[in-house]
Amino acid sequence: MDIKKYFDYYSSVIPIERVMELSENDLDDLYANSKEIDGINVFFHLLNQYIYLKQHDAKKETAHICYLISYYVFTALTPPHSENIALEYGKKAIQYNNDTKYKEWIEEILKGN
């Protein structure tokens, strides 16, 4: 997937059928290759994607985006209170899809890793 096209300033949302292709590595690459403001804007793109998926009742995809928001905030952005924000979105991921991956991620956040 040409992921960068979905993270330009005026880009559209990722189509529901393609959301699961977005990975942690994609987010790491976006952050590493972005100017500071563009790295922050990735968060807002993810947040907008979350709202879009929630409106379309795409539970599995919404869970995935919640997990990726949690991951991005906790590992890349690390703003003030990143652990609390990451934990909140990690819990949302589990609410939408009770997947082992998301439970393990919560454990990592709680460890502070």
Distance of alpha carbon 27 from alpha carbon 67, whole angstroms: 12
For the chain, give every domain's residue range. Answer: 59-113
Confidence category of residue 68, pLDDT binned at 50, 70, 90: very high
Q: How many CB atoms lie within 10 A of CB 13?
A: 16
pLDDT digits (tens, 9 = 90+) for 75-87: 999 999 999 999 9
Q: Alpha helices, DSSP H only, in 72-112?
A: 82-96, 100-111
Confidence category of residue 51, pLDDT binned at 50, 70, 90: very high
pLDDT, position 113: 61
Exposure string over 41-59, b if 16+ CB within 10 A, otherwise e: bbbebbeebbebbbeeebe
Q: Max CA-CA distance within the chain? A: 37
pLDDT, position 57: 97
Q: How many CB atoms lie within 10 A of CB 33?
A: 10
Q: What is the mean pLDDT of residues 7-35?
A: 95
Q: What is the mean pLDDT of residues 86-90?
A: 98
Residue type, 61: E
pLDDT, position 4: 83
**Cα 53–Cα 7–Cα 102 angle in degrees, nearest 5:** 50
